[in-house]
Amino acid sequence: MKLNETWIEIDSLEYGFPGDSIYKRKRVFSKSDNITLPRFPEGEQAFLQYVRDSVEYPVVSYESGVWGNVQIRFVISETGKVEDTEFIRSIDAAIYKEVRKAMMYISQIDWIPAFKSNEPIRMTVFLTIKFRIRGYGGYE
């Protein structure tokens, strides 16, 4: 196997309220909720690209055939600060360390907070990072 047979996928961010479980992360907000979601300063796609650029597939994990999903939950405060980062699911110590390093940098960037009825509110962001190896787990 060659390391170029690996890739990292990040599809999108999902949102909820502080205390929501990973199973409620697909919460749908309607227009009547009057909620504006939190935003990374340059937008969601810029955030996703930043994560893709910041996280590398650890060689030791690749050589061990480790693949799967890492799930992270963090809160954007009323002031736009990243707080309460929690790894809900990790698959390997080296991958955990790599993603944690990226999250440390991300936590230093102020976001635009969520708003409800024009008042800033705390909101949870769920991020799933998928580590894939060609030939493992049905990925070709």
Q: What is the pLDDT of residues 46-101, one digit of tens each?
A: 898 888 888 989 989 988 889 899 999 999 999 999 999 999 999 999 999 999 99
Q: Is the pLDDT reported for residue 27 higher than 80?
A: no
Cβ(94)–Cβ(6) below 8 Å: no
**DSSP type of residue 5:** G
Task: Considering only CA atoms, give the Rg of the chain.
Answer: 16
Average pLDDT in the 9-15 region? 76
pLDDT(7) > 90: no
Q: What is the pTM of this model?
A: 0.82
Contact present, 52 and 129 (Cβ < 8 Å) = no
Helix, strand, coil content of the chain in percent (nearest 5): 30, 35, 40
